[in-house]
Amino acid sequence: ASFDIVQFSEELTEEMQLLAKQNQHIIYQHTGTGSSVHLDPKILKYCVVNLVGNAIKYSGENTYIEYSTEIRDNRLELHVRDNGIGIPESDQKHLFEAFFRAHNTGSIPGTGLGLNIVTRYVALLKGSISFESKLNQGTSFTIILPLDS
Ligand code: ATP
Ligand code: MG
């Protein structure tokens, strides 16, 4: 079945906004050719909820979180960007390991499982996931999924 990624993302953004901190604003944008995608919405929801949930959790009050989707070349790209605590460089290579948590999480709760499960889902869909991060500046995650079928 196919669904509309814009409608899906706008609804999810509203739900996630309820979980955000004081004056943390989630901004959603879509670009590209059309908005219908042939993917499992439950898998997509798990991925976006964990990435946006992490952005909320690991960034402070009065910040913006950007969530965007783009369809091009028969691929769906998802981007989630925050201006949060960032990930220490020496921790970055371990980030997708089960139960791994970076050393700067302090008293912020978490199990270190969310991203590991996201990587398994992305692999199932023959996609890819990557991130860039600077300590104390912010982090951005990208998921790219093929839309062949
Ligand atoms: P949960 O299983 O509840 O999602 P978690 O958030 O700790 O717990 P992951 O989502 O797998 O686990 O993330 C793993 C680790 O990666 C986090 O503990 C944190 O150290 C780091 N991390 C993930 N996203 C961000 C982010 N946006 N900014 C800073 N650090 C992050
Ligand atoms: Mg998480």
Beta-bridge mates of residue 69: 30, 78
ipTM score for this prediction: 0.99
Which ligand lies nearest to the CA atom of residue 112 in the structure? 1
Ligand 1 and 138: CB distance under 6 A = no
Residues of the chain with pLDDT under 70: 149
Whether 144 and 127 have beta carbons less than 8 Å apart is answered as yes
Q: Is residue 109 left, alpha or beta, with left meaning phi > 0 and alpha meaning psi from -120 to 50?
A: beta
Q: Which atom from ligand 1 is nearest to the alpha carbon of 86?
A: 29
Q: Please give the Cα distance from 118 to 28 (Å, whole number).
A: 20
pLDDT in tens, 35-61: 999 999 999 999 999 999 999 999 999
The model's pTM is: 0.98
Amino acid at 121: Y
- Give the pLDDT of residue 149: 61
Which are the contacts of 78, defined by CB distance < 8 A and separation ≥ 6?
47, 48, 51, 67, 68, 69, 141, 142, 143, 144, 145
- Give the pLDDT of residue 148: 86
Ligand 1 and 58: CB distance under 6 A = yes
